[in-house]
Amino acid sequence: MSQQRDQWTSNVGFVLAAAGSAIGLGNLWKFPFITWNNHGGAFVLVYLMCIAGVGLPIMMAELLIGRSTQKSPVGALKEAIGPAWGLVGAWGVLAGFSILSYYSVVAGWSLFYFVKTLGWSLTGFPADVQTGAIFASVVSNGWRQILLSGLFSMGTVATVYFGVHGGIEKISRIFLPVLFAILLLLLFSALTMDGAGEALHFIFRPNFHELEPRGILEALGHSFFTLSLGMGAMITYGSYIKRDKSLVSSATIIVVLDTVIALFATIIMFSVIFTVPGMPEQVSSSTVGMLFISLPQLFYQVVPFGRILGPLFYVLVAMAALTSTISLLEVVVSYFIDERAMPRPKATLVSGAAIFVFTILAALSFGEVSWLSSFELVHGKQGFFATLDHFASNYQLPIGGLFITIGCGWFMTRKQTEDELVDDQTPGWFSYGVWRFFIRFVAPAAVAAILIAVLFFGADFS
Ligand code: PHE
């Protein structure tokens, strides 16, 4: 435990790493789909309100708990609030374990589609290709699923193995700017398409008649997932910050970047979809469908410069996913380093291997192994993958988030939090009093509403 604790080399490095954690499949895979399902406009507005009113204050709370204690979640919560709160940290470690195990499966698909689209770009897109059938064959082929998610998990383990600044920060410094550049290219291409106007209209024109109450709760649930909140990822990343820059500014930049990228991704996908007659009706009723079934062929049929942008798009998905999976693994690994005094290499390999066992189960739950694919613990959620996703989004993150906001708002002293948030670098618009009101009242009430909806009214946010 006496080993020198790893740190970010600079505030920029930290912000890029934390933004990398936030920006991931949640932005590219989940957000466009739930926006589609909830009819855009009003849903997007509610989502933005949840991000600003719940996500941002909790982001500041997690970062300040991490920075003030310089410990990973279990130790941090014990020290900042009290011994029993270590349980909340342990809950987060478990959440990291379960999210990582299914997340790597989707991330693996992006590798497959990168290679596939690269092939199409080089040799031409075959006229008779059935992208739906291709996807079905990918997910139902157990060995290929294990290979793809295994390759991806190796990338995650390798990065975390090299530590906070030697691995995580280095990768984030390269990936985030590249990711931004690719996304901007895609955005410019999408905005020239015929469907762009309709897409913008769909996303930004609020029509409150179309918003169902469960959409509000869905927006709130998603804001935890997309900002990596509720399981200690931001506590962990915060614990590697040196105390020199304002936490308020860093938290705001991370949240804004995450939100902008989710919106860009949605504009891109919807512009493509609205450009093809009949496509809006066809977009299959799954998130996976939009990203891996509809889009691949459209790159070759309607997207300007699609031959180049297609493979780039799947590289983007893979890079965004990797900067998120490393943060999930880091939560687990930092627990073993800080609380069990394990050296980083051993902690990384042991937790990476243990999680991969569950990744294999998730990878095989798309048909290859029938009991894994078909059991239904929760109504409508079939199989291991869907069940893990359901528990993580509906229970693990909101429950973790509820305790963090209550702990920070009601059990930490005013001085403890004010000292972290207010210093001579704090931006002028920030009001500590407003933050404290949100963290004590608004955020807990909102999160409690999600849980009540899930537990008593059968709502589902996964
Ligand atoms: N925020 C990530 C995404 O949007 C997912 C994630 C959740 C990462 C929780 C870390 C912790 O894809």
pLDDT at 1: 44
Q: How far is the CA of 397 from the centre of ligand 1 (A)?
A: 10
Q: Is 24 a pocket residue for ligand 1 (Cβ < 6 Å)?
A: yes
For 239-265, write each residue's pLDDT tens digit. Answer: 999 887 899 999 999 999 999 999 999
Q: For a ligand 1 pocket test, name from 225, 237, 333, 397 the mutation site with the most ligand atoms within 8 angstroms of its C-beta.
A: 225
Q: For a ligand 1 pocket test, name from 266, 291, 323, 324 the mutation site with the most ligand atoms within 8 angstroms of its C-beta.
A: 324
pLDDT at 163: 95
For 268-306, write each residue's pLDDT tens digit. Answer: 999 988 998 877 777 755 556 778 887 888 899 888 899
pLDDT at 129: 82
Q: Is 327 a pocket residue for ligand 1 (Cβ < 6 Å)?
A: yes
Q: What does the alpha-carbon distance between residue 335 and residue 307 come to, in Å, rounded to a whole number?
A: 44
pLDDT at 210: 84
Q: How far is the CA of 300 from the centre of ligand 1 (A)?
A: 30
Q: Is 231 a pocket residue for ligand 1 (Cβ < 6 Å)?
A: yes
Nearest CA to ligand 1 atom 9: 228
* Position 226, amino acid: T
pLDDT at 284: 55
**What residue ranges of the chain have pLDDT lower than 70?**
1-3, 284-288, 379, 459-462
Residues with Cβ within 8 Å of 62's Cβ and at least 6 positions away in sequence, in order, are 229, 232, 233, 234, 235, 238, 404
pTM recorded for the entire structure: 0.94
